[in-house]
Amino acid sequence: MHKIPVTIITGFLGSGKTTLIRHLLQNNQGRRIAVLVNEFGEVGIDGELLRDCQICDEQDNPTDNIVELTNGCLCCTVQEEFYPTMQQLLERRDRIDCMLIETSGLALPKPLVQAFRWQEIRNGATVDGVITVVDCQAVAAGRLVGDLKALEAQRQADPNLEHETPIEELFEDQLACADLVLLTKTDLVDEPTLSKVQAWLHKELRSGVKVVACQEGKIKPDVLLGFNAAVEDNLASRPSHHDSEEEHDHDDEINSIQLISDRAFEPIWLIKKLKTIVETEEIYRIKGFVNVANKPMRMVLQGVGDRFDSFYDRPWKSDEFRQTKLVFIGRSLKQEQLEAAIYS
pLDDT value at 166 more than 70: no
Higher-confidence residue: 13 or 138?
Answer: 138
Q: Of 40-44, 131-135, 204-208, 289-293, which range is least confident?
A: 40-44
pLDDT single digits (tens) 311-340 = 999 999 999 999 999 989 888 899 999 999
DSSP annotation string for 272-321 = HHHHHHHHHS-EEEEEEEE-BTT-SEEEEEEEETTEEEEEEEEEPPTTS-
pLDDT value at 49 more than 90: no
Q: Write down the pLDDT at residue 64.
A: 64
Q: Write down the pLDDT at residue 324.
A: 95
Average pLDDT value for residue range 175-197: 93
254-343 shares the fold of 4-237: no
Q: Write down the pLDDT at residue 230.
A: 92
Buried b (16+ CB within 10 A) or exposed e, 279-300: eebebbbbbbbbbbeeeeebbb
Instruction: HSE, CB side, 13 Å, CA atoms: give it for residue 75.
Output: 22
Task: Round to whole Å and give the CA distance between 227 and 222.
Answer: 9
Q: Report residue 145's pLDDT band, with 50, 70 and 90 as the boundaries.
A: very low
Task: Round to whole Å and give the CA distance between 186 and 135.
Answer: 8
Q: Write down the pLDDT at residue 213.
A: 93
Q: Report residue 250's pLDDT band, with 50, 70 and 90 as the boundaries.
A: low
Average pLDDT value for residue range 282-286: 85
pLDDT single digits (tens) 212-226 = 999 888 898 899 998
Interior angle at CA 166, CA 302 and CA 75, nearest 5: 75
Which option is the CATH number for 254-343: 3.30.2010.10, 3.40.50.720, 3.40.50.1970, 3.30.1220.10? 3.30.1220.10
Q: How many CB atoms lie within 10 A of CB 153?
A: 11
Q: Write down the pLDDT at residue 158.
A: 40
What residue spans define the domains of the chain? 4-237, 254-343
Average pLDDT value for residue range 21-45: 83
In the predicted model, what is the mean pLDDT of the chain? Answer: 82
CATH fold group of domain 4-237: Rossmann fold (3.40.50)
Q: Write down the pLDDT at residue 178.
A: 94
